[in-house]
Structure 1
Amino acid sequence: MSFKLKDYINYIYLFIIIVVLLFLYNRYEDKLASKNMDGDYSAIQKYLLSDSSLADVKKPILWIPITYEYNARNWLSFGSRSTFDLNQPYMYLTVKSIINQCEGSFHICLIDDESFAKLLPNWSIDLKMIGSPTVDYIRSLALAKLLHTYGGMIVPPSFLCMRDLHDMYISGSSNHKMLICEVVDRNITSTTNEFYPSTTFMGAEKECPVVKELIDFMQRTISTDYTSQLEFLGEFDRWCNSRAQKHQISIISGKLIGTKTMDDTTILVDDLLSNNYIDLYPQTYGIYIPAKEILNRRHYEWFARMSPQQVLESNIILSKYILLASTPDSKKGTIEPLVNQPKKWIGYWQVPSGFGLWGMKPVPFATHLIRKNTDPKP
């Protein structure tokens, strides 16, 4: 009996040791994962807005708004089962691509809802106290006011940048115009239009009069309607489209931001998250990734949950472009499909020894040529 008792005790000790080792191993794996995430985060940490004074900035400002919403994509603990963290790791890669391509031409600022009080005079609205969908309208109003006060360009964090946006900003905002990019239409105007300008991707010079008119229109509209009708009708985008028809706003073609193929076909999230080749414009500035649509569609929520390493190792076409843009010496360019080369028949030749070997017929050497007698006749 004593031997059996000792065996049981040994088994218990062994089980405890295995559990402890598994626990330590899991902690080690979590630490490695956090270090990898910290490496991506530290690369963009210095661009987070910490100073409210932008008066001394000489370069145009590139605004990257980050929205933090309550979600359950990654739990802080089993008890919480939710968090206010971003929890879209692929955006670390897209934001890094914007920084890598544009840091020489723009002063880059990453902002959130708490940045508006630091940057906008007399801004006293607490967006945490406002519910959806009104908070989205107020956030759009705040971004428009930032554009009017400081100028620059608003770029969504889900934009995979493959070229410096400076040329697009200069050409689009010339003659005191406001520039706006066209994306796949997702409001009621989609019944007649496949593409439509979107205020999520726009730019202008400081104190642009067109932006001031847009701010006035937003304030009037929001004060009279706080329902989802504004989003359904696309009122802000429709206003911009009407001003574009009056040549007050420059519309950037969807080919330049990856929402339209060379033959004017829409590039949907289904195409981006597939393995199929996308015929992008060779001089495109990047690929606009519809982040909100990825979160709203259950079929594609897995992409928002993937780690940066999983994104880079994936076989989908978007991952290949992200990998291309993440290289240290990334150049502008697109991925070309594999094309079958025309077949050219090659003649094969059997060696004279009859050994059964075949190969390409060699070029005749002088030793194999018949020598002509060139000696002079006596």
Structure 2
Amino acid sequence: MTGRWRSAAERERDAEVAALTPDYQAEIARGTDRFFEPRRDTCPACEGDRLEVWVTGADLVQLKPGEFTLERCAGCGHVFQNPRLTPEGLGFYYRDFYDGHGAGAAEAVFAGKAEPYHDRARMVRPFTTPKRWLDVGSGHAHFCRGAREILPDTTFDGLDQGAAIEDAATLGWIDRAYRGEFPEFAAELRGQYDVLSMHHYLEHTRDPWAELDLAADVLPDGGFLLIELPDPECRLGRRLGRYWMPWFQPQHQHMMPIGNLKKALADRGLTPVAEQRAEADQGNDLTLSSYLFLATLAPRSPTPWRPRKARLAGLRGAAVWTVGIPWLVLASLLDRTVNRRMVRKHDRGNAYRVLARKEAA
């Protein structure tokens, strides 16, 4: 409670924090305003000018400094970060999240329940038995690992910018790893896969419509594109405000309503053939929002961008989490009962899936 005793793992973590701290402190001293582009006055989806502030928030996961705003277009419902981060800004906030200092935490999250991965694979089975499947934005490739259990005869490959995608190939979770950005490999990938998937990928991109253009070009006629996205029309999104996990600032750049996505797909010759809304809900809104709130009161460990603990931080943390853990248990129970019933009743949860087929030109 006083923070004096350290396990071997904690001592290793403290040494890593100490090594990374000088560079982070130098960057933070220069301010975070330089990480933003000028605010735009029109919607990037429809060019409408009726914009309203939807959510303002901070980095509640890593607790890096900065304030972020999501605005909503009153015309088409598209929600987007405004002002948007520059590529340099994205690099700052992504650093040490999926790789580096935060790799262990990210791995623990993605290595959770396999059921959502199974459900995604099952969504495709009524329409095709794919020979080759490419997962774009595959991260640690946990989806591919889980999907193999449903489609054992399918070859699964993964594409991502992080080093974890190469580790996944070494572990045998995917057959081939493409490390980099989707546009870099588009010409090489054209016509090679009968299914492409983008699970919680488009919301991270600076131009999701360009990514859909590439997907339509890469797929052969009759191929399928499976997309899963956070649902900005979720009833709890506004009620939980900045603590609703799918807003996930500053990483999420665009939040597309399902109607907008289906129209964008159709405009590119991709016909939606199936969708899931309640079935795609991850059943954790109240639990994760509670955790984010508690973690802002009492962060669990120091980081290179927040290395110093307040005096008696151990005592404060013990007090917050003594109350907080029962709170999290209650929130989990509410997610499994009340929240689940509401999702099923309104057929709308915190995510949705759309499967589309590419038609012959």
Pick the TM interval, shorter chain.
under 0.3
The structure where strand makes up a greater share of residues is 2
More RCO (CA 8 Å, sep 6+): 2
TM-score between both structures, scaled by the size of structure 1: 0.25
State the structure with more CA Rg.
Answer: 1
